[in-house]
Amino acid sequence: MDKNELTKKIESFAPLNLAEEWDASGWVVNVPDKLQVQKVMICLTVTDDVVSQAKNQNCDMIVSHHPLFFVPFEYKDINIYCAHTNLDRTQGGTTDELIKILGLNNCIVKSGEDGFVRYVECPLDIGIFTEKLCRISKNVRVVNNKNVRQINKIAFCSGSGSEFIQETVKNGADAFVTGDIKFHTAVESPIVLFDIGHFESEISVSGVIARLLFSEVQTVFASERSPFKSF
């Protein structure tokens, strides 16, 4: 299939105009003489190892979630495309897929003002909800400064969402699920925070990309894992 037809399928689902201005969503490497694509490797992050996997498995193209702001020379002989903040913002994208995997998509789900945060209205015991999160992440960290036992409105932002904590408080959330929460942010938080890890909160979006492309080309998932180890 023509690689530009593949990217149109992605962009029809996650339009590039949804991406942040600083973002580098879209073509990372567009090899002029490699137009046809039969096999695509899907990954969260393009690394040396992922590029090697793609080449060893005879992939014609890599589709990633995270962008590359610097492209090493050895990556420039394989097509690489990324869908980043546009995939985060679009309906059915990164955060929505996390909510779906947690089995909460049948609850009331609303988008925040900026499009990155989702709000789920669903009364849950905090212990039961923590168990749900632990099924998808071995690195769950919980901040519960007020010893809350019951949560009713949960905010979600896959990836790194610390900057949205004040928004979630303003919008009446009892808890916020995200990644990359810093120490002082945790100390000062007036609501419950669940840091499930950047990787763990986003890796499921690979399935979203695969569903967009599987009817057109063969898709394979890169073998990836979080750089953080649990003991």
Q: 89-201, what's its fold?
A: 3.40.1390
pLDDT of 105:
82
- Residue 229, pLDDT > 90, answer no
Single-letter amino acid, residue 126: I
| Structure-token pair, residue 70 | 């610097």
111-161 tens-digit pLDDT: 998 999 999 999 999 999 999 999 999 999 999 999 999 999 999 999 999
Where are the CATH 3.40.1390.30 domain residues in the chain?
A: 3-84+203-221, 89-201
169-202 tens-digit pLDDT: 999 999 999 999 999 999 999 999 999 999 999 9
> pTM to 2 decimals?
0.95
Burial per residue of 121-155, b for 16 or more beta-carbon CB atoms within 10 angstroms, e otherwise: ebebebeebeebbeebbebbebbbeeeeeebebbb
Class of 3-84+203-221 in CATH: alpha beta
Positive or negative torsion for Cα 66, 63, 7, 159? negative
Rg over alpha carbons for the chain, rounded to the nearest Å, is: 18
| Structure-token pair, residue 223 | 């073998």
pLDDT of 230:
77
Residues 39, 40, 43: CA angle, nearest 5 degrees:
155
CA nearest 76: which of 44, 34, 31?
Answer: 31
Match 């923590």 to its residue by tokens: 130
